[in-house]
Amino acid sequence: MGLRRELDKFFSSDASGGIFLILATVMALIIANSSLGPAYDEWLHTYLKISFGESELKNSLLHWINDGLMAVFFFLVGLELKYELIEGKLKNPADVLMPGVAAIAGMACPAIVYVSLNLGNSATLGGWAIPAATDIAFALGVLALVGPKVPSSLKIFLLTLAILDDMGAIVVIALFYTADLQVDYLFLSLIPLAGMYIQLRRKAHRVAPTLLMGLVLWFFVLKSGVHATLAGVLTAFFIPIKDRYGKSPLHALEHGLSPYVLFFIVPLFAFGNAGVNLTGLTFADLLDPLALGIAGGLVVGKQVGVFGVVWLMVKTGVARMPKGANWGHIYGIACLAGIGFTMSLFIGTLSFSDAALMNSVRLGVLTGSAISAVVGFVVLRIASRDGDPAEGQEDEAEGAAQAA
């Protein structure tokens, strides 16, 4: 019973998802640089085919992970976004102002750093959005590892910033990473959308019909040229927060789906996409404009964007510092925002198909994310040394009471 209690405690903690990501990444790096490397690469490029009458989907296993399973990840992101917009942290515009502006600056500054280093290279310039992303699970996991002395207001600030960052990433994917449009499939996608809308208006208790229509929508969106993961976000917004009986299908789905996403889908994505081949790697490879632009964007761009905006807004009186936080805490959070990892790797797969370029992308993402995580952890530990754990617990109890 003691072991089971400890396991339940571990899997319910914020740090657990980040730990699984780290383990999956380390495994990918070890395997990719061992004698199993060729088998690893061959496994990822094994083709799987599904036929629907005259239509068929034939993609490598890696593409099924990136286009299929990651649609489930974005579905969960969509569920969280809908809840936060209607009932949660994004409901009150005043609470969103500072993390919202910080999120915008935290996307713009890394992109500027990347573009400044790749301006003369048309082959790599399209990867400007790679360092703009933040990995929620990884960033919150590192924050949880710092300990109980961190003010709970920082977790809320980081979570809000990361959620808004994800919203920005979704918009970027929709606008800038869409292939040649097949308009006929876009029109067909209106059929499942209409069906899901009817279900939402009826406040239907059963969500299975909506999920089935979401699967049809995913197929039509994939065939249309728009990235299929966006179908996951759209489907999530048609899941009712409250059904006709007063129950919450959205909360039930979010609660049931989270473990599969955090402990299977996202680690599997990391395992499939983080395998950097380090053979013959030198320091000069890290100075390549593509890798350096990504790493520099995540480390320098995020810190300048997030910390700079918060400092400016607090000093001008536009916003107030999060409760119990000091400038060391804010700088540490700005560093954690530079953990791009999952989202950065994902946008990297949309940006480049060339294996050599993708190896540079992985190198830049892993380097930038690792530096951001380590520096953020150290800074937050130092900034929280004199903190009072009881204050964080009181804040959490207050937040739970307000939520109830």
- Write out the residue range of the structural domain in which residue 319 sits: 2-177+227-403
Is 330 part of any domain? yes
What is the model's pLDDT at position 393? 46
Does 374 fall in a domain?
yes
Q: Report the CATH number that the domain containing residue 285 is assigned in CATH.
A: 1.20.1530.10
Structural tokens at position 385? 């040394």
- Give the pLDDT score at 9: 63
The conformational region for residue 341 under phi > 0 = left, psi -120 to 50 = alpha, else beta, is left
Residue range 329-341: mean pLDDT, rounded: 93
- CA dist 189 and 217 (Å) reads 5
> Which of 80, 78, 87 lies closest to 237 in space, CA to CA?
78
| 187 located within any domain | no
Residue 248 pLDDT greater than 70, yes or no: yes
Is residue 41 included in any domain, yes or no? yes
Give per-residue pLDDT as tens, 339-387: 988 889 889 988 898 888 888 998 999 999 999 999 999 999 999 886 5
Token readout for 271 is 């395992």
Confidence of residue 11 (pLDDT cuts 50, 70, 90): low
Question: Which of 7, 35, 27, 50 has its CA nearest to residue 223?
Answer: 50
**Is residue 167 pLDDT above 70, yes or no?**
yes
What is the domain count for the chain? 1
Q: What is the band of 8 on the pLDDT scale with cuts at 50, 70, 90?
A: low
Specify the amino acid at residue 92. N
- Structure-token match 């395992």, residue found: 271
Average pLDDT over residues 329-334: 94
Where do we find the tokens 């997030």?
306
Q: What is the mean pLDDT of residues 251-268?
A: 90
Q: What confidence category does residue 391 fall into, taking pLDDT thresholds of 50, 70 and 90?
A: very low
Q: Looking at residues 14-31, what average pLDDT do you find?
A: 83
Helices (H), 319-388: 327-336, 341-351, 355-383
The answer as to whether 144 is a domain residue is yes
Residue positions counted in the chain: 404
b/e map of 329-348 (b: 16 or more CB within 10 Å)? bbbbbbbbbbbbbbbbbbbb
User: For residue 295, with 0-12 CB atoms within 10 Å meaning exposed, 13-18 middle and 19 or more buried, which class applies?
Assistant: buried
Which element (helix H / strand E) includes 48? Answer: strand 47-52
Per residue in 94-112, pLDDT (tens digit) is 778 898 899 999 999 999 9
pLDDT confidence of residue 140: 80
CA-to-CA distance for 249 and 269, rounded, in angstroms? 27
Using the 8-state DSSP alphabet, how is residue 322 labeled? Answer: P
pLDDT for 395 equals 45
Bigger pLDDT: 20 vs 379 = 379
Q: How many helices (H) and strands (E) does the chain have?
A: 21, 2
Could you tell me which of 42, 18, 21 has the C-alpha nearest to residue 31? 42
Single pTM value for the model: 0.76
d(CA 145, CA 54) in angstroms, rounded, equals 52
Q: What is the mean pLDDT of residues 285-306?
A: 93
| 106-110, 149-153, 270-274 — most confident range | 106-110
Which whole-number Å values give the CA distances from 215 to 61, 72, 186, in the listed order?
18, 10, 14
Q: What is the pLDDT of residues 43-98, one digit of tens each?
A: 988 888 877 666 667 778 888 888 888 889 889 888 988 888 888 877 877 778 89
Write down the mean pLDDT value for the chain.
85
Q: What pLDDT shows up at residue 2? A: 61
The string of DSSP letters for 370-389 reads HHHHHHHHHHHHHHTTT--H
Over residues 183-202, the pLDDT tens digits come to 888 899 999 999 999 999 99
Q: What percent of the chain has pLDDT over 90?
A: 37
Which percentage of the chain shows pLDDT scores above 70? 90
Q: Is the pLDDT of residue 128 over 60?
A: yes
Is there a domain that residue 114 lies in? yes
What torsion do the CA atoms of 256, 262, 265, 269 make, to the nearest 10 degrees?
160
Rounded distance between C-alpha atoms, residue 198 and residue 201, angstroms: 5
DSSP run (H or E) holding 58: strand 55-60
The answer to whether position 201 is within a domain reads no
Predicted pLDDT at 389:
47
